[in-house]
Structure 1
Amino acid sequence: MRFSVLILSSIMMLTLLGAVAVAMWTSTLDINTYVSTGELDWEIMSGTLILLDACGLQPGEEFYRGNDWNASFLPQPGAIQLDKDVGCTEVSLIDSDGDGDKDTLNITLHNVYPWYYTHIAFKVHNNGDIPIKIWKIIIDNRVFYELNEQELQQGVEIDVDEDGKYDILIWWGNNFGVQLHPCESADISLDVTVLQDAAENADYHIQITFEAIAWNEYSTPS
């Protein structure tokens, strides 16, 4: 059995964008907000989405083939490629407010099993008129201002199928508060690992909403 090894050191250059907050200039993934000095707006750039194990790849080793990856290095990021092609990763970008900008990630892990691993990367772009700062994200209705300060220091665990056991681990970089000026773009990436208590050969669906705020109104709960 031959293995290909993937070590993604500091994989996560995570930047998370979008939302409307009371008494703040903000842009949610659903609404573009206009203020007296300009428009606060951003987008996930079409054509920049990269998946480590995308559905439809031909079986085989190396990054551009479809053999699965295993999270052998937990609690550290990274993975080993296996000699089988069982699961795959599908991501669609959604324009939730109909303004022409893709603003939501809809992730589906198909036919996966414990320790299945994938990596997702894309670019975000400030296409408004004022500087914004990365503020928070919402994963399946849970709000996060920081994701890598959990007890295990390895990301956030999610019970996707609501059976009382964690199924998915999502690991991000620490880029909350990063500022983007108009026309600037930034790379965002995340690791997704299926945990031990997940079902075999299951499909898991995760939706991620990004929120940003005007640069001079940035704050987080203490």
Structure 2
Amino acid sequence: MRKKALVCQVVVLALALMGFGFAKWSDSVVVRATAQSGSVKWGIFDESVWQLDEGTDWHSEMEGGMLNYDQDTEGKDVGSTSVEVTDANEDGVKDTLDITVSNAYPCYFNEITFDVINAGTIPVIVQIPELTWMETESELESGVVYYLCSNGSIISEYDDGFVSPEENGAVIEVMFQDNVSAQQHPGEVLSESICFHVLQPAAQNDQYSFSLSIEGVQWNESPIPAGSVVD
């Protein structure tokens, strides 16, 4: 019996010298995971900007009826509109239309259309656009007529204090249309438009400037849900 025990001790010692260990059986697995986030890149497609006034002036005769318009029957080309696409928040993507109306006169009408493109890898929600007039900023609900007043205010017929365009001193009425709250997928292009109409209180041979800014926000961070705004 002692001989067997001695043999076992010798074997154990030999194995120990050969580098074998008798710790608990164990092994380990190392997992390395890589997470890659998507990117948001959204803005106005510069080459898509187009305006109705490309020559003969267009007129609209009715306040609040801006979609009833036609070209000047005498072929006058007096009023003009310039549009510049800019990056207002300096994030590297153009998001703002700077609009200047020159030689404005009552009834002058114009419509500006443009495309917004989702050039990123994440779906976005198109936000409510914001209009800047003088020192005032205001959100524009799609399909609602807003009045730009000579005192620098922006008002709609639904606001407290609205009486009429004339009595509120409105010089221009504007309306934004299309795609507010739409979910826009990567690579998708959507068309937007803003139209405006110069009103009777406008000064002769004057120049008016206003800006329209629009934003696309990552779908799961948008303050407005997809499809929540219906024209």
Same fold by TM (over 0.5)?
A: yes
- Deviations for 1:202-222, whole angstroms, at most 9, x for unmatched residues? 11001111122222233349x
Check the 8 A contact 2:111/2:193 in 1, yes or no. yes
What is the distance in 1 between the residues matched to 2:199 and 2:171?
5
Aligned residue in 1 for 2:42: 42
If each structure's helix is expressed as a fraction of its own residues, which one has the higher value? 2
Which structure has the bigger radius of gyration? 2
Unaligned runs of 5+ in 1: 1-35, 55-65, 150-154
1:53-68 correspondence to structure 2 within 5 Å: 53-54=53-54, 66-68=55-57
Aligned residue in 1 for 2:116: 124
- Deviations for 1:67-94, whole angstroms, at most 9, x for unmatched residues? 1111125433131211211111110111
What is the distance in 1 between the residues matched to 2:140 and 2:203?
29
Which of the numbers 60, 78, 81 marks the counterpart of 1:71?
60
- Deviations for 1:177-197, whole angstroms, at most 9, x for unmatched residues? 111111111011121111122
Unaligned runs of 5+ in 2: 1-35, 154-167, 226-231
What is the distance in 2 between the residues matched to 1:72 and 1:96?
34
Q: 1:98 deviation in Å?
A: 5.0
Q: 1:179 to 1:51 in 2, by over 3 A?
A: same
Runs ≥4 residues deviating over 6 A: none
Aligned residue in 2 for 1:158: 148
What is the distance in 2 between the residues matched to 1:174 and 1:211?
13
What is the distance in 1 between the residues matched to 2:205 and 2:78?
8
Check the 8 A contact 1:126/1:180 in 2, yes or no. yes
- Deviations for 1:35-78, whole angstroms, at most 9, x for unmatched residues? x7322221211211111114xxxxxxxxxxx1111112543313
What is the distance in 2 between the residues matched to 1:112 and 1:97?
29
What is the distance in 2 between the residues matched to 1:102 and 1:213?
14
Aligned-pair identity in percent equals 32
Q: 1:160 to 1:177 in 2, by over 3 A?
A: farther
What is the distance in 2 between the residues matched to 1:205 and 1:211?
21
